[in-house]
Amino acid sequence: MGMNVGSSSGGEDEVVSAINTTPLVDVMLVLLIIFLITVPVVTQSIALNLPKETNVIRVTKPENIEISVAKDGEVYWGTKVVPDMEELVQRLGKESVKNPQPEVHIRGDDKSRYESVGRVVFACQRAGIMKISFVTEPPERGG
């Protein structure tokens, strides 16, 4: 067995060029665990059959507002029911004054009436929302 006790010349110490990667691995594992825990929370929504249509990939941001219209005409803000259109206009009005203004993503069931979705669009206009998007599913391939 050997041991390095220093140089006999009495000069400066040698520089250690090895990098300790243990802290880096620890941080990456913590970030991975946080990511795995938060993904199911972000993807929570009302179960709907969305219309099949070609679309562009949307960028989901936490500040975006997701409004769902069920086939029976019920309107949901995220996962909570909105009882009437006046309350929807009031809630959208509070969001419309933020800078930057959040986008509204409307998810309409493919069996819902156009009138129900139109009322939500009209509520967005009354509240001063500048950007409205419709969420759809792409059609099946080959058919």
Q: For residues 100 and 72, is the Cβ–Cβ distance under 8 A?
A: no
Sheet holding 104-108, edge to edge: 80-82, 75-77, 65-69, 104-108, 132-134
pLDDT grade for 39, boundaries at 50, 70 and 90? confident
The letter for the amino acid at 34 is I
Q: Quick one: fold of 65-134?
A: Nucleotidyltransferase; domain 5 (3.30.420)
Q: Which residues pair with 132 in a beta bridge?
A: 104
| Tokens 């005409």 belong to residue | 73
Q: Is the dihedral of CA 105, 86, 129, 121 positive or negative?
A: positive
How many of the other CB atoms lie within 10 Å of CB of 121?
A: 17
Q: pLDDT class for 28, splitting at 50, 70, 90? A: very high
Q: Please, what is the average pLDDT of the chain?
A: 82
* Strand partners of residue 66: 105
User: What is the model's pLDDT at position 49?
Assistant: 80
In this predicted model, what pLDDT tens digit does every residue of 52-71 receive, in sequence order?
A: 766 566 666 777 899 999 99
Across 48-52, average pLDDT: 76
Q: Tokens in use for 5?
A: 């006790």
State the pLDDT confidence band at 100, using cuts at 50, 70 and 90: confident
CB atoms within 10 A of CB 20: 8
- Burial of 92: CB neighbours in 10 Å, binned 0-12, 13-18, 19+: buried
